[in-house]
Structure 1
Amino acid sequence: MQIDWPSIQSGSADTLHGTTVDISGWMIPLDPQADTVDYFLLSADEPCCGGCVPRNPLTSIEVQMAAPLAPQAEALALRGRLLRLLDDPAGWRYRLVDALPIEGPQAPQRRFSRRAFLASGAALGLTACAPGHFAGYTESHDETAQTAQTAQTAQTAQSAQPETAPRWQAPPGTLTIDMHSHGGRVIVSRDPAIGARRPFIPLAAPMRAGGMNVICLAIVTDTTVTRVADNRKRFEAWREPQLGELYALGQVEFQRARQLIEREQLQVVTDTASLSALGPLGPCAIISAEGADFLEGQVDRVDEAYTKHQLRHLQLTHYRVNELGDIQTEPPVHSGLTDTGVQVVRRCNALGIVVDVAHGTYDLVKRAADTSTKPLVLSHSALATRPGARSRLITPDHARVIAGTGGVIGVWPSSGTFRDLHAMAEGVKRMADVVGVEHVGLGTDMLGFISPPVFRSYKQLPDLASALLLAGFSQAEVGAILGGNYRRVFDASVG
C-alpha cells in the first residue's frame, strides 16, 4: 500500500508495523565512496546539499535494501516492509527493510540539483550547509567561533597550497594505526535483533587502498539504553539497563566483530609480537570496546573479555554514567573515576589491555592517570579553549594529563570541529604544540558520526598525510602521528 510522509511524521504509520508499503523520497547515502549501497536514509525533502543529514528524524527513514542499489540522482520510489522503531538511539522512528525500487507514477518527478548530487559523492561532508552535529558534541559559542576560524584558515591554506601536494614517504618499519574505529559497520545499533544481522560494508579493501595497516575495532555496549536527546545534538541514557542486558549485548557485539574479521579476512593483533609480524602484511584489527558497560561493574569480566574475545583496548565510559565513572556529556555523579573503575584500570594493566579514557571527565582522567602504571590513551577528541558543559572536546590541561602518563590523544575528523582535512591537520598541530608530537595520534571514529566527518574512508589516508606535511610536520613525525605513537603505548601496555 502507498503511504505518505505526513503519516510518518504524525506517527499514524505505527499501525503498519510489519506491512509491505510503497514510499517515495530522496536518497541520502551514508557510505558515499561505494558504487552501490544497501543502507541509506530516505528523506521527505530534497536535501540542499549532499552533506546534509536531516536534523529532524521524522523527515526521513532508514532503508535496508534487499539488493544493493547505485546512488540515485533522482527521487525514487521504494517498496519494502515497514518497521516501527522504539527508542532508537539515533532518533529514527521507522525502518524500511527488504526494500526494492519500483517504477510508476507515484515516484516524485523532482530531481537533485547537479551540485547537490555531486556533493553527495566525493565531497560529502565538505559542502554541508552548517557545522555537523554528532554523538555527544554540542557546540558552545567559543567552539562555534573556533570552527568558523578553522574554516577560514583552511580556505586560505587551500588557496595558497602548491598544485602538487607533498607526498608522505613512510619511514621503514612504520605502521599506520587508527586508535578508534567502527569500520565495516561493526556496531549492533538500535534493535539488537535486527542490528545483529545488519549487512557489513567493505573494510579491508579501503584499508589496503589507503595504506591503513591496523585499526582498533570498537564494539559499543550501551546502544539499547541510549538515544539522541531532544535537542538532536548529543546522545543520552534514557533508561536503566536490566540485569544482564548490557553483558548480553556485549557478547553479541564481540561475536559480530569476529564475523566481520572473518568476512574481511583481517588478522587479529593480540600482542607486540603479532603487531610487528602481522601489521606490515595486511589489514589487521585490535579488538576494542567503546565503554565498559558490558562489565556491569564486575571486574572479573575483564579477564573473560581478554581471554574469550581477545580484547586488548578498553574505553572505560561512553554515553551513560556507568559503574566506572563520569562522562563529559552528563552531570557528574561519582566525582570522576569510581573505586570499581580503579580496579578495572589495574586489571587492564595486569593483563595487558590499553586503557582508553575518551568520553571520561577531567576528574576521571586525573584519577585514572594516578592509578595506571601504563600510558593512557584518549582515542578521539580535539582541543578547545573553553569546551561547552557537555562537549566532547578537551582543554589543554586535560590533554596534558594524558601526555603526562606517556600516552596519546587521538585527533578526530569531526565536521563540527574541522572544515576539511587541512583544518584537521592544523588541529593536530595545535594538539602537538600543547603536548608534544609524540603524544598525538589518529582516532577516526569511522562510521561513528551522525553528520559525515571530513575523513570518511581509509582511502583518504594519503591525503591526510599530505595535509600533515603541509601543516609543517616532518616525514618521521607524520609516521609517529599516524601510528607510531599508539604503537609505543600498545607495546608498553600489552607487551
Structure 2
Amino acid sequence: MGKLTRRVLLGAGAAALAGAAFGVHTLRKRPGPAPLGFELTAQERARGVAFLKANPAVDAHAHPGQTFVRGASGLPPLLQVYSAKGSFEPRTVSDMVEGGLGASSFAAVADFNVLDLSKEKGLVERRPFEEGEAWASYKIQMANLKRLASDGIVTAMSSPGEMEAVRASGKPGAIWTVEGADFLSGSSERLQEVHADGVRSITLMHYRANEISEPMTAAGHDNALSAAGEAIVREMNRLGMLIDLAHMPESAARRVLEITDKPVMFSHTHINSTELQHPRFISADIAREVAASGGLIGAWPSGIGISTLAGYADRIFQLIDAVGIDHVCMGTDMDGNYKPVFDDYRRLPDLAGLLLKRGLGEPETAQFLGGNLLRVWGQSMTV
C-alpha cells in the first residue's frame, strides 16, 4: 500500500482528510477514471485487447478490493470510518476480467491496525502493537483472502507455472502477499507456517519501524538491516518466497542484495531524479543494483509528478531506459494508491495499446505486463 487511494471519504472526517497527504477510498460510487492524456483509435485499443488475450498480465503489488479492512481492530476514528465502508473485491475482480488481467498480488497489510493519517506526513505509526496482535491480524487477513478463492471469486496461485491453468479457469489468479513483515515479530521461524498459508511474497517494510529496519519514509533515517532481518531473508530464500524491498531504506536494501541468493524486487516505486524526488522513490544506483542481481522494479502509477495514464507510460519508459526491459514490471498498488493515474483494471487495454503505439515491441510489452514477474517469481522458487 503506497498510500490510500485518492477517492475521498464522504461524511464524518472528510474535512480533516481533505488537507492530508493521503486520500481515502469511498465505496459509495465509482468516480470517473483518471485522464488518459492521449488518444487511441478503436483499432489501437482493439490491438491492446487482443494482446492481453494472447499474453498474461500480472500485477506485482495490489490490494484488490481492500480485503485488509475486513475485521481490522484497534483503529483510530478516521480509519474506523474508512474500514466500516467494507471491502469490494467482486467489483475489482470484475474489472480484472473486463480489462484482461491474468493475475495479481492480493496483499494483506501487516501494520494497518496501528497506523493513522497525519495531515503532515500521511500514514504514520500511531501506537505499538499489543502482544500477539500483529500475528492475529495476519491470520484474520489471510483467512479473508483465502475465502475469496473458496467462494470462487478468484483462483489462488502458488507458482507461476499455474498461469496457463488460471487463465483457462476464467477467474483471475490471486497471489497471496503481505505488505510489511511486522507479523513475524522478527522471527524467521514463523515463515514456514506463512509459506504453508500460501504466501509467496513479503514486502519486508511498510510504514512502521519493525524488527527488520525502519521505513524509507522515516525522515532522516536510512537504517541497516538487522540480524533478525538477515535471518528472515535467508529463510525466505530457502522457502522460495519472493522478497520485496518496497518501502525499505537503501542501506538495508543493499544488505539484502549482499546476502540473498535469489532475485528480489521493489514492487512499486520510481527513480528519483533532479526533476522529481520523493521519499517513496529510490535512487538510480539501487535500481541498477537490483537489476544487476536479476531482480525487478515495479512501475508505480502513483500521482506523484504525473496526472494521466500517459504519464504512467512515460514512467515505464524511464524505468526501461534506466535498468533495461528485463527488469521492469507492473506494480499498480491498485485500491491502495495515492492519486493513481491507473486506477481501474478496465483501462489495461488502453495502457497496452499505448505502449505498443509508442513503439514498445510486442515481446517487450509482454515482458513488462507479466513475463518478467513470472520469470523472477519462478527463479525465487528454485532450490
Unpaired runs of 5+ residues, structure 1, are 1-29, 33-38, 48-52, 72-119, 127-153
CA contact (8 A) 2:213 2:225 kept: yes
Q: How does 1:7-156 map to 2 (within 5 A)?
A: 41-42=10-11, 55-56=18-19, 71=29, 121-123=31-33, 125-126=34-35
SS at match of 1:165: helix
- Partners of 1:62 and 1:278 in 2: how far apart? 29
In structure 2, relative to structure 1, the CA distance for the partners of 1:61 and 1:388 (3 Å cut) is closer
CA contact (8 A) 1:387 1:393 kept: no
Structure with more helix by fraction = 2
- Partners of 1:61 and 1:396 in 2: how far apart? 31
Q: Find the counterpart in structure 2 of residue 442 from structure 1.
A: 330
CA contact (8 A) 2:63 2:333 kept: yes
Unpaired runs of 5+ residues, structure 2, are 75-79
CA contact (8 A) 1:186 1:260 kept: no
How far did residue 43 of structure 1 move? 7.3
- Partners of 1:276 and 1:377 in 2: how far apart? 23
Q: How many residues align?
A: 365
CA contact (8 A) 1:410 1:440 kept: yes
CA contact (8 A) 1:380 1:444 kept: yes
State which of 349, 352, 357 in structure 1 corresponds to 2:240: 352
CA contact (8 A) 2:51 2:352 kept: no
- 1:481 maps onto 2:368 in alignment: yes
Aligned residue type for 1:267: T
Q: Find the counterpart in structure 1 of residue 63 from structure 2.
A: 182
Length-normalised TM-score, structure 2? 0.85
In structure 2, relative to structure 1, the CA distance for the partners of 1:401 and 1:412 (3 Å cut) is same
Q: Find the counterpart in structure 1 of residue 73 from structure 2.
A: 192
Aligned residue type for 2:166: L
- Partners of 2:183 and 2:275 in 1: how far apart? 29
- Partners of 1:313 and 1:407 in 2: how far apart? 14
In structure 2, relative to structure 1, the CA distance for the partners of 1:414 and 1:189 (3 Å cut) is farther
Residue by residue, what CA displacement relative to the aligned partner does 1:195-245 show, whole Å, maximum 9, x if unpaired?
4993434233211111101101100010122212241x4211122222211
State which of 302, 305, 308 in structure 2 corresponds to 1:414: 302
How far did residue 334 of structure 1 move? 7.3
Aligned residue type for 1:208: V
In structure 2, relative to structure 1, the CA distance for the partners of 1:321 and 1:408 (3 Å cut) is same
- Partners of 1:361 and 1:386 in 2: how far apart? 19
CA contact (8 A) 1:190 1:224 kept: no
Q: Find the counterpart in structure 1 of residue 194 from structure 2.
A: 305
Aligned residue type for 1:493: S
How far did residue 332 of structure 1 move? 6.3
Q: Find the counterpart in structure 2 of residue 254 from structure 1.
A: 142
How far did residue 260 of structure 1 move? 2.7
How far did residue 179 of structure 1 move? 0.3
> Aligned-residue CA RMSD in angstroms?
3.2
Q: Find the counterpart in structure 2 of residue 286 from structure 1.
A: 175
Q: How does 1:347-426 map to 2 (within 5 A)?
A: 347-386=235-274, 391-426=279-314
Residue by residue, what CA displacement relative to the aligned partner does 1:75-125 show, whole Å, maximum 9, x if unpaired?
xxxxxxxxxxxxxxxxxxxxxxxxxxxxxxxxxxxxxxxxxxxxx7434x4
- Partners of 1:164 and 1:278 in 2: how far apart? 28
Aligned residue type for 1:375: P
- Partners of 1:172 and 1:449 in 2: how far apart? 26
Q: Find the counterpart in structure 1 of residue 345 from structure 2.
A: 458
In structure 2, relative to structure 1, the CA distance for the partners of 1:189 and 1:230 (3 Å cut) is farther
- Partners of 1:273 and 1:382 in 2: how far apart? 29
Length-normalised TM-score, structure 1? 0.67
- Partners of 2:275 and 2:218 in 1: how far apart? 14
Residue by residue, what CA displacement relative to the aligned partner does 1:144-184 show, whole Å, maximum 9, x if unpaired?
xxxxxxxxxx96xx38x778536234389732100001002
Deviates more, 1:199-208 or 1:405-414: 199-208
For CA contacts below 8 A with separation 6 or more, give which structure has more relative contact order. 2
- Partners of 1:63 and 1:487 in 2: how far apart? 33
- Partners of 1:256 and 1:487 in 2: how far apart? 25
Structure whose alpha-carbon radius of gyration is higher: 1
How far did residue 192 of structure 1 move? 2.4
How many percent identity over aligned positions?
29
SS at match of 1:170: helix
CA contact (8 A) 1:387 1:394 kept: no
Q: Find the counterpart in structure 2 of residue 213 from structure 1.
A: 102
In structure 2, relative to structure 1, the CA distance for the partners of 1:163 and 1:251 (3 Å cut) is closer
State which of 356, 380, 383 in structure 2 corresponds to 1:493: 380
